[in-house]
Amino acid sequence: MAPSAFAPPDAPDLAELRKCVHCGICLPQCPTYRVLGEEMDSPRGRIYLMRAAAEGRIELTETFARHLDLCLGCRACESACPSGVRFGSLLEATRAQLRRHGPPPRRRLLEHFIYSVFPEPGRAGAALGLLRLYQRSGLQRLVRSTGALRPFPRLRAMEGLLGDVPRAEPLPELVPARGRRRGRVGLLTGCVQGRLYPGVNRDTARLLALAGWEVVVPRAQGCCGALELHAGKTDDFRARARRLVATFGDDLDWVVTNAAGCGSALKEYGHWVQEARGLAARTRDVTEMLVDAELSLGRLELTVTYHDPCHLAHAQGIRREPRQLLRRIPGLRLVELAESDLCCGSAGVYSILEPEVARELMELKVARIAETGATVVATGNPGCLMQIAQGCRMRGLDVTVVHPVELLARAADAYPG
């Protein structure tokens, strides 16, 4: 047998690759296969390529890399797979192999900007401050009216994704429990959530406190590394995981996230970093923490539909809890969304790096939302919040896009007691 195209460390597991029986059940669940219709852009096709490389039958060519780049990493194939193939870990390991050769020249500068700014709180804050100035000075209206960004599709995608940038709202380091105390939890505030949706963190902390949890919000916490993991930057990811383990102490019963991508990464820390297994085992999504809580909720007369974030539904297997919480709000009518767990096209920074495919998926998602007649869309991931909100704006759909905890917090405020 020819030598493998992969090399340790972090080589894809050949035994895991060989679990795929090429049945094709995953094909209709795959967003890129739905859009592109190419076998090599399906989970089955990508596994065929990875296995061929692992067995030394092909090299890691530019064409090979392109088919892997086009994958959203949504892991819908894992939910569909009868053989239990862990496609997500295979994709991350393969991207780690490709990362050794660097990103494609056509997007090298953009990737450098993304991974040197987004996960760094200071740099991200400065960049968002400039963006806020750009939006409020009138320059944004001028740029959009003249079509100045039309020749730069990735830059246009990044610019169009962001709504009004809010000012930062730092939380207190300790939010006391109210009522019967249940324990002590740490809150991961997240890079994107903390900067673009600070109200989600505020509502998360308040609801956890109402549910009896003392909430610790460490000032020193940084990025969880999810973006870098999904891009195959495993050394950077491991370094961030170790720093986060040191930040969240052993005195916490749970570490709570309200961003699906962050939660998925934290729960899989143990696969990559031995000393992070304890943190991984203690990580819970906020909906898991609240689903059995005794919350007093007032009426909200709203028609709501729910979009399943990929890394909540497929990676963490959390589907029931968000819906159950929304149904507990008096007056709220929850309408099921067709293909609710089909990726909206956000996928971390995918919507910036692959704007054409992302836009098709966004338009399909918004069309499904329009069919429901809902006036509110709830979803538990900041990337989904941005992507779906952008799609609704572009279509002229009068729909508000919120995190489930925002609706729960509004209902708690509406309680007459």
Where do the domains of the chain lie, and which CATH numbers do they carry? 14-99 (1.10.1060.10), 106-161 (no CATH), 174-290 (3.40.50), 303-414 (3.40.50)
**Residue 99: count of CB within 10 angstroms of its CB:** 18
Instruction: Give the model's pLDDT for residue 124.
Output: 80
Instruction: Give the model's pLDDT for residue 110.
Output: 83
Sign of CA dihedral 25, 31, 34, 37: negative
The C-alpha atoms of residue 61 and residue 68 are separated, in whole angstroms, by 11
Is the pLDDT score of 184 beyond 90? yes
Average pLDDT over residues 410-416: 95
Average pLDDT over residues 192-213: 95
Q: What SS3 class is residue 360?
A: helix
Cis status, amide bond into 9, omega within 30 of 0: yes
Lowest mean pLDDT segment, chosen from 150-159, 190-199, 265-274, 387-396:
150-159
Longest Cα separation, the chain? 73
pLDDT band at 1 (very low <50, low <70, confident <90, very high): low
Please indicate whether residue 129 or residue 25 has the higher confidence score (pLDDT): 25
pTM of the model: 0.94
Residue 329 CB contacts under 8 Å (≥ 6 apart), including other chains: 297, 299, 300, 407, 408, 411
pLDDT band at 415 (very low <50, low <70, confident <90, very high): very high
Which residues sit opposite 187 in a β-bridge? Answer: 256
Average pLDDT over residues 17-24: 96
Instruction: Give the model's pLDDT for residue 166.
Output: 83
Instruction: Give the model's pLDDT for residue 42.
Output: 98
The C-alpha atoms of residue 216 and residue 172 are separated, in whole angstroms, by 8
Residue 187 CB contacts under 8 Å (≥ 6 apart), including other chains: 171, 201, 204, 205, 208, 215, 216, 217, 255, 256
Average pLDDT over residues 149-176: 85
For tokens 């380091």, what's the residue? 173
Average pLDDT over residues 272-291: 97
pLDDT band at 114 (very low <50, low <70, confident <90, very high): confident
The tens digit of pLDDT for each residue in 45-102 reads 999 999 999 999 999 999 999 999 999 999 999 999 999 999 999 999 999 999 987 7
Q: Taking each helix axis from N to C terminus, what angle separates 382-395 and 355-372, rounded to the nearest 10 degrees? A: 70
Instruction: Give the model's pLDDT for residue 25.
Output: 97
Sign of CA dihedral 23, 29, 34, 40: negative
For 95, the token pair is 């991207």
The C-alpha atoms of residue 387 and residue 53 are separated, in whole angstroms, by 34
Do 363 and 356 touch, CB atoms closer than 8 A?
Answer: no
The C-alpha atoms of residue 227 and residue 231 are separated, in whole angstroms, by 6
Instruction: Give the model's pLDDT for residue 97.
Output: 95
Residue 297 CB contacts under 8 Å (≥ 6 apart), including other chains: 328, 329, 330, 408, 411, 412, 414, 415
Lowest mean pLDDT segment, chosen from 113-127, 216-230, 338-352, 395-409:
113-127
pLDDT band at 22 (very low <50, low <70, confident <90, very high): very high
Do 333 and 405 touch, CB atoms closer than 8 A?
Answer: no
Please indicate whether residue 136 or residue 5 has the higher confidence score (pLDDT): 5
Which residues sit opposite 11 in a β-bridge? Answer: none
Is the pLDDT score of 286 beyond 80? yes
Percent of the chain with pLDDT over 90: 78
pLDDT band at 238 (very low <50, low <70, confident <90, very high): very high
For 291, the token pair is 């689903």
Lowest mean pLDDT segment, chosen from 112-116, 196-200, 356-360:
112-116
Sequence-ordered alpha helix ranges (H) in 70-120 = 76-80, 87-99, 108-117
The C-alpha atoms of residue 376 and residue 302 are separated, in whole angstroms, by 7
Tell me the pLDDT of the chain averaged across its residues.
93
pLDDT band at 152 (very low <50, low <70, confident <90, very high): confident
Please indicate whether residue 156 or residue 24 has the higher confidence score (pLDDT): 24
Is the pLDDT score of 239 beyond 70? yes
Residue 145 exposed, middle or buried by CB count within 10 Å (0-12, 13-18, 19+): exposed
Sheet holding 333-335, edge to edge: 333-335, 303-306, 376-378, 400-402
Is the pLDDT score of 107 beyond 80? no
